[in-house]
Amino acid sequence: MTHAHSTDPETGGPTLARHRVRDAIQGLILAGGLRPGQRLIQQELARRFGVAQSVVRESLLELQFSGLVEAVDNLGMFVSGLGPQTLIEAYRIREVFEGLAARLCCRHASRADLQDLDDLTGRVHQLGREGDLAAMSAMDRQFHYRTILASRNRLMARLTEGYRVLGMFVSAERDIDQVRGEHLDIVRAIEADEPDPAEELARAHVRAARRSIERQVAEGTFAPRWVAQEEAE
């Protein structure tokens, strides 16, 4: 198996070919190049990316774990049609995991970790003020993943991969000043070594985002991002 010319963000080591292919297919799904319900033919993908079918198969299995693709008995792999309930369930999982991550950060986060979280908080807010919502959402996801990494729990980092990808499809549409305040409260609780408040603040922050999405669903205004892209084209 060959290596791609990139590095794994978690380990700093070379990214395996299956990760390169996984990220490429994921990018196509996120960009709307592969549509919900579309069959993923391994032979075609192997030719497209210049890899063996076994590499494509492994990549699709990883994407299946994240919920982006699904296996249909005797028919193969297909791009998933993500509904709002799946995304809401992902936020319920996020609430538990990120609460635990904030608690563990009280013990394990370094000064550099805290500085990074402070900086990310400021960048999220600034991008929101500038109206660059796509970049703001990406930076917000980075803030949350940084707390996971600062917890020093490698298994948690791997387990959160699925819901982090699903988070690329949604926008909680919350007030940017309130989000900034909640981010800062989490960081300050970690800095003060207060695990109970840190956990509850992190959980409340994710819970507020989930409830915003639930309101959008109830009002009929919610759509996964790929649906919005498809309608705009």
Q: pLDDT tens digits, residue range 200-214?
A: 999 999 999 999 989
SS3 state of residue 6: strand
Angle at 72 between CA 97 and CA 231, to 5 degrees: 75
User: Which residue has better confidence, 90 or 204?
Assistant: 204
Do both 39 and 109 map to the same domain? no
What is the pTM (predicted TM-score) of this model?
0.78
The last residue of a domain, from among 27, 44, 79: 79
If asked whether residues 75 and 189 sit together in one domain, one would say no
CATH code assigned at 154 = 1.20.120.530
Q: Which domain holds residue 26?
A: 3-79
Residue from 225, 231, 228, 216 nearest 88 by CA: 216
Average pLDDT over residues 119-142: 93
Domain end marker among 40, 61, 79: 79
Same domain, 58 and 117: no
Q: Give yes or no: residues 28 and 95 share one domain.
A: no
The number of domains in the chain is: 2
**One domain for residues 71 and 90:** no
Mean pLDDT is lowest, of 10-24, 83-97, 126-140, for 10-24
Return the structure tokens found at 208: 């507020």
Q: Is residue 45 located within the same domain as residue 121?
A: no
Residues 88 and 196 occupy one common structural domain? yes
Residues 141 and 166 in one domain: yes
Q: Do residues 96 and 173 share a domain?
A: yes
Does the structure show a pLDDT above 60 at 94? yes
Note whether 213 and 174 are within 8 A (CB).
no
Residue that finishes a domain, picked among 79, 105, 129: 79
In a shared domain, residues 90 and 196 = yes
